[in-house]
Amino acid sequence: MQTYLIIGNIFSLLSAICIAVSAVKKSKKDFMYWQIGDTFFGIIANIALYAYAALVISIICFIRNILSFMDKLTQKITVILLIISVVVGLYANNLGVIGWLPIIASASYTICIYMTKNEQQMRYALIINMALWFIHNLYVQAYPSAVANIVLCFWTAYQAYKNLRKFQK
């Protein structure tokens, strides 16, 4: 079990690095590129940490991020991914209410990715997403990701504020 916790945290750290890099990207394409890495490493971390609902969500998010990166995320695909993530995520949930958090985070973020091309709005959605994942990651002991999640909440809020101030000038 200890080995899996260490492996999970190593991949959690790699996931956290990718999400941190994505937060400072200027274009949606660059943003999504790094989020593909985030979800890839998150898949491996969730396997090692026995977080099954988060694993399902990470796999679906990986697919969503690739499709968004390639500009192939249609309304129909978005709805299908949302339904699959909620149904399969709830079925795979082995953590009770904590297991719902990745499902909620993913569903809300998926809607945002589809609905907007605006990186500022994506930053706002990312803040909410990271806050929900922070709670989940603390619970499953994915400490590098939990630290990254809370730091990124504040960092992304700062980037959003800075970007907002730039447009007000």
Q: Phi/psi class of residue 141: alpha, beta or left (left: φ > 0; alpha: ψ in -120 to 50)?
A: left
Q: For residue 156, give its domain range.
A: 2-168
pLDDT at 1: 62
The per-residue pLDDT for range 103-145, each reduced to its tens digit, is 999 888 888 877 877 778 888 888 999 899 999 999 999 888 8
d(CA 88, CA 84): 6
> Looking at residue 27, what DSSP letter applies?
S
d(CA 98, CA 89): 12
Count: domains in the chain:
1
The per-residue pLDDT for range 11-57, each reduced to its tens digit, is 999 998 998 888 778 788 898 999 999 999 999 999 999 998 889 99
- Which is nearest to 23 in space by CA: 169, 152, 165? 152
The per-residue pLDDT for range 70-98, each reduced to its tens digit, is 999 888 999 999 999 999 989 989 889 99
Helix (H), strand (E) at residue 71:
none
